[in-house]
Structure 1
Amino acid sequence: MHKHIRTALSSAALIIGLSAGGSAAAQQAQPQTSLPKSTVPAPDYSDQQLKRFVSASQKVAMISQEYTPKLEAAASDTQKKQVFQEADDKMVKAVHDEGMTVDQFNGINQALQQDPKLLERVQEMVQQP
């Protein structure tokens, strides 16, 4: 599950950055669109799937913000593993609560990094009231 939390955190940071900074964040996210394009076309995600992803990403980011100080304050490796596992479990639950699997969540996250048009669609969703 440790793989899941890292992927979730990167996408959550992207989404929260977009929602917090508006157009400035959209401009900052632009360099990501210059990544080499994959030869495999990204799946065509529905607006409903993307809205679930955005909501799950925002929840994951809040959990991350909550647990980062706890992780930094943990005195031993055992404590760090416990805090990390608790955060990971909550993040996975947040994704599931949005009606998604972690694999679906990670798939959209990966597609966002490879597809500028998809990223633009998500940015628009985040900026809508």
Structure 2
Amino acid sequence: MQRFTALFSAALLSAGLMGSMAHAQEDTAAAAEQAPAEAQAQNFSDAQLQKFADASKEIAVISQDYTKQLQEAEGDEAQQEVRQEANDKMVEAVENSGLEVDTFNAIGQAIQQDPELMQRVQKMAQGSAEGQGS
């Protein structure tokens, strides 16, 4: 469940990367619990940050899709199934990007704490979207 919480936090964060950054602040408490990423904040390569940006865009779409499904799900069991399915899709998106989930989460936490790093990742996300013609 901890992995899900971190990924869902990252999904909220990635939604902030694409639009308003207000979403990035929603899970500050969860990020504070996992503060070891702060020490690693400057250790991410441009390639890792680009993979994070690419995966974040996919996760933002997954998050939007599953947020709707979660709101429509009735009962705790149905909601848990939706959460698990969303988590599986998010993990798959991260792994397909070439990052490990822990690295993805560490980058997500680091950019919450480092506005300059967040701007770098935002520029990467915008640049890759233009390159793909999206």
Provide the TM-score with structure 1 as the length reference: 0.76
Which residue does the alignment assign to 2:46? 47
> Per residue, is there more helix in 1 or in 2?
2
Could you tell me how far apart the structure 2 residues matched to 1:6 and 1:126 are?
A: 19
Provide the TM-score with structure 2 as the length reference: 0.74
AA in 1 matched with 2:11: L
List, as ranges, runs of 4+ consecutive aligned residues in structure 1 with deviation greater than 6 Å.
Answer: none
Point out which structure has higher relative CO (alpha carbons under 8 A, 6+ apart): 1
Could you tell me how far apart the structure 1 residues matched to 2:52 and 2:40 are?
A: 19
Which residue does the alignment assign to 2:63? 64
Which residue does the alignment assign to 2:30? none
Could you tell me how far apart the structure 1 residues matched to 2:79 and 2:39 are?
A: 38
Structure 2: which 5+ residue stretches go unaligned? Answer: 26-36
Report the RMSD for the aligned CA atoms in angstroms.
2.4
Contact 1:71 1:84 in 2 (8 A): yes
Contact 2:11 2:59 in 1 (8 A): yes
AA in 2 matched with 1:120: Q
Structure 1: which 5+ residue stretches go unaligned? Answer: 18-24, 33-37
Could you tell me how far apart the structure 2 residues matched to 1:123 and 1:69 are?
A: 25
What count of residue pairs does the alignment treat as equivalent? 114
Contact 1:113 1:119 in 2 (8 A): yes
Which residue does the alignment assign to 1:22? none
Could you tell me how far apart the structure 2 residues matched to 1:87 and 1:41 are?
A: 27
Which residue does the alignment assign to 1:11? 13
Could you tell me how far apart the structure 2 residues matched to 1:61 and 1:49 are?
A: 18
Q: Percent identity?
A: 44
1:1-129 alignment to 2 at 5 Å?
1-17=3-19, 25=20, 40=39, 42-128=41-127, 129=130
How far the C-alpha of 1:84 sits from its partner, in A, is 0.8
